[in-house]
Amino acid sequence: MKMKTTIKSLGLVLIGAASAAVLMQAFGGATAATNADTYKLLNLFGDVYDRVRSDYVEKPDEQKMMEAAINGMLTSLDPHSSYMNVKEFADMNVKTKGEFGGLGIEVTMEGGVVKVVSPYDGTPAAKAGLLTNDLIIKIDGKDVQGITLNEAVDKMRGAVNTPVTLTIVRDKKKEPFDVKMVRDVIKIESVKSSVEADDIGYLRISTFNEQADDGMEKAINELDKKMGGKEKGFILDLRNNPGGLLQQAIAVSDTFMEKGEVVSTRGRNADQVERYTAQKGDLTNGKPLVVLINGGSASASEIVAGALQDQKRATIIGTRSFGKGSVQTIIPLGNEGAMRLTTQRYFTPSGRSIQAKGIDADIVIEEALPPELIGKNVSTEGEAGLNGHLANPGGGTEGGGSSAYVPQDKTKDAQLKAAIDFLHGMKVVTNVPKPGDKPADPVKQSN
C-alpha cells in the first residue's frame, strides 16, 4: 500500500558565541533580525548563561545546560514538542522500527512523576499488570521527582535479563507498591489477529510503527484463508493504541477504503495544506467493519477511526478517544540529535479537528470494572487535560478523557462482545445510562 507523499526538508541554524552577547539565533531569520525585543531576550539568555558558567557553586555541564535550554524552549510550546539528544534520537529510530530494549511501556511526565500512558501488548510491563494512569514514583528505590522524562526512561532501560523495580501509585488513598520486572528485548508486534465467533476477523493494532501496514495486509489475507472468504465482517481494535507514524495511519485506513480522503494536514499558513486519499481497493471487499476505541486511543489511531467514521466505512464502538490532533515532525539537527516539533494539525475527511475533543463513538459501550479497580482512576484526562495543549481551531467545548480499561479475558470484554453482536446483525445500544437511569447491559435486538 503506497501513498503519494511530499518529504519536506527543514533546517535549524544554531549560532554559538563565547561571550554573553549572542548564543543562539532564533527561528525566522529576517524576522528575528529586525525584532529588538527578541535580541534583548537573547542577550538576557546570554547574561544568565555566562553568569551560571562562571559563578555556579560547582562547574556546570555546559552541554547539559544547553540541551535543557533547548528542550525547555520546545516543551513550552505544547506537550508534544521536545528536543532529543543523539542517544534519544537513535532510540526513537529503533523504536519506530518495532524492536528495542526495555520494559515495553509508553509513558509521560505529570506533576513531576512518570505516568503510564499504555503498556505494549505482551511486554514485561503488560505481563506485570501495569495500567494506564499508574504513577511511577521510584525506579529501583530512587525518586523520579526532579529528573526529566528522558532520564527516567533511560533508568528503566538496561541490559536484557536485568531486573528493575518500579514503585507505583495506583490509588492515592492507599500506599504505593513495588512491581518487579525483568528487562527484555521488546519486539512490538504491531498487528495481531484471530477469528472470533467462527466468522469474525479480529485485527488488533498496538502501535503504528513501520510494520503496521504490511502486518495488516498479511493478517487480513490469513484471516480470509482461515474463514474461506465467508467472514461476516472485521473488528479493528485500536484501544489503548497511543499512535505512531502518520504515513502508517494513512496506509492502514486505505486498507479498508476504495476511494476518498483519509486525512488532511494543515500548517500555520492557509496554503500549508496536504490531503491524503485512498489509492487502492478495499482488501476486505467492503465487508462490514467495527472499530474499537477508548480513552487510550490517540493520534494515529484517531486518524484511522476518524477517516473510517466520516467515510461511513465503519461503525465506531467504545468510548471517546484521547484527542491528540496534531502532527509532530522529527527534524534532525546534524550531529546534535533532533527536535520533535508540532508543525501541523490534522483534520478528518469532513474537515473536523479532533484536537482536545477526540473521536466520539457511534455506540458508547463502557467496560465494567473488576472489584479491585472500582473507585480507582482508569480514565485518561485526554489531550484537554494536558498543560499547554493546543486549542481546537474550531473552538467549542473540549472533550474530557474516558476509560482506558480493557479486560484481558475476552469473555468479559463488553466492547468486543458488542462489536461481534453488531456484525451478527443484532442491534446494539449504549450501556451508559442517562441521568436518573439505572445502568444496563447492551441491549440487543434482531434487525
CB atoms within 10 A of CB 62: 11
Question: 99-108, 179-188, 346-355, 436-445: which has the minimum mean pLDDT?
Answer: 436-445
- Whether 46 maps to a domain, the answer reads no
213 and 301 fall within a common domain: yes
299 and 281 fall within a common domain: yes
130 and 215 fall within a common domain: no
Supply the residues annotated as catalytic. 299, 310, 324
Q: Which of 149, 134, 203, 197 is nearest to 404 (CA)?
A: 134
Q: Which of 105, 101, 98, 95 is nearest to 184 (CA)?
A: 101
Domain count within the chain = 2
140 and 287 fall within a common domain: no
200 and 173 fall within a common domain: no
- Whether 293 maps to a domain, the answer reads yes
pLDDT band per the 50, 70, 90 thresholds, residue 120 = confident
**How far apart, in Å, are the Cα atoms of 387 and each of 78, 390, 402?**
8, 9, 18
154 and 224 fall within a common domain: no
Give the DSSP letter string of 85-135: -HHHHHHHHHHHTTEEEE--EEEEEETTEEEEEEEPTTSHHHHTT--TT-E
Mean residue pLDDT across the chain: 87
- Domain containing 145: what range? 99-187
Dihedral angle computed from the Cα positions of residues 119, 124, 125 and 127, in that order, rounded to the nearest 10 degrees: 90
- pLDDT at residue 447 is higher than 50: no
157 and 203 fall within a common domain: no
CATH number of the domain to which 131 belongs:
2.30.42.10
**Over pLDDT 70: what percentage of the chain?**
88
- Average pLDDT, integer, range 24-31: 46
pLDDT digits (tens, 9 = 90+) for 181-191: 999 988 778 99
| Structural domain ending residue among the three candidates 154, 187, 220 | 187
358 and 434 fall within a common domain: yes
| Structural domain ending residue among the three candidates 187, 222, 253 | 187
pLDDT digits (tens, 9 = 90+) for 223-235: 999 999 999 999 9
- pLDDT at residue 3 is higher than 80: no
| Structural domain ending residue among the three candidates 164, 187, 210 | 187
pLDDT of residue 435: 63
Cα 378 to Cα 369: distance, rounded to the nearest angstrom: 9
Within 246-389, strands assigned E span 261-266, 273-277, 289-293, 315-318, 326-332, 338-347, 363-364
